[in-house]
Amino acid sequence: MRYTTLGRSGLRVSRACLGTMNFGSDPQAPTPEAEARRVVDAFLDAGHNFIDTADTYRGGTSEEIVGRAIAHRRAEVVLATKAGVPQGGGPNDRGLSRAHLTRALEASLRRLGTDYVDLYQCHVPDPDTPAEETMAVLDDFVRSGKVRYLGCSNFTAAGIVGAQWAAQRVGATPFISLQANYSLIARAIEGEIVPTCRQHGLGILAYSPLGSGLLAGRYHRGVAPAEGSRLAEWAAMPSPTARTFVSGLLAERHFDIAEEVAAVAAELGTPTPAVALAWLGGRSEITSVVLGPRSVEQLETNLAGLAASLPEHTVTRLDAASRSTVAPPVNGQHHAS
């Protein structure tokens, strides 16, 4: 089993992280509790130790299910959760303020049935709260023993730098990790965010490694997402943001990449998602890959893919097919004066 330290810390995590956004008890949940428990046990039995959830997943149900699933194996698990996404309609029911984060952590600990979280992450940036306030209250959590390490998610390079500098100014604990969208169809973080994480001591946790299913062959060019699929549900939401996300994901360029992945999989005689995961698992800039299996069978396929190695010429081919999704660094050399 391969473990690695998370960012500039001594915390050792598995290269695979179990994402639990699909865990729920409602009839529409992709992974009901009984199957979720089997997934957790299979993941830990295979030697992996890193599990990620969030207070917003399934209205907190994901945390509850994860807490029950790991109760008898808590010491084996590096448990991560997140806060910051709106939890209600009140003015302090969201964000990274002391007021919200204090309540959010206590609520997460209750749902998880534990007295500490190994990695507590700011789920989204909060432009309305000073970074010094956020880092100071997070440091209080660490000093109290309720949190062991700190991370962020979906932060820009500037946001990461601002948070790390704020922690230094107030003598607080810095971030050691960033969760970011990263896959063959989402490589924009390579331009600015990856170098920033390297410089400021953050390990990178790659979420949505299969492009919300596009790189797993679940969606096809010119065919509407099947009823009941994740993208069909998002496309039907009243939120314009959700609909915009779906239309952006189903861009022609992304189908070009997905079809190249499928072609490679056919040539190698391996499942399509395994190719995308093997490519990601070979990226030195990634500490751990957040997998979101709906079943034990999907988990086993994903773990096998992540552990596999692609031939060098195949990696070069996939790099070339997806290269246009990489944003170049802003270093002053790409603009005429």
Q: Which residues are catalytic?
A: 57
d(C-alpha 185, C-alpha 113), whole Å: 37
Report helix, strand or coil for 51: strand
User: Which residue shows structure tokens 């529409």?
Assistant: 28
d(C-alpha 120, C-alpha 146), whole Å: 9
d(C-alpha 39, C-alpha 106), whole Å: 26
Instruction: Tell me the two tokens of residue 72.
Output: 């008898």
Residue 17 contacts residue 289 (beta carbons within 8 Å): yes
Beta bridge mates, 80? 52, 119
Closest CA to 85 of 172, 166, 16, 179: 179
**What's the distance, CA 153 to chain centroid?**
8
Angle, to 10 degrees, between the axis of helix 157-169 and the axis of helix 131-144?
Answer: 60
Closest CA to 317 of 269, 267, 261: 261
d(C-alpha 307, C-alpha 16), whole Å: 9
Report helix, strand or coil for 173: coil
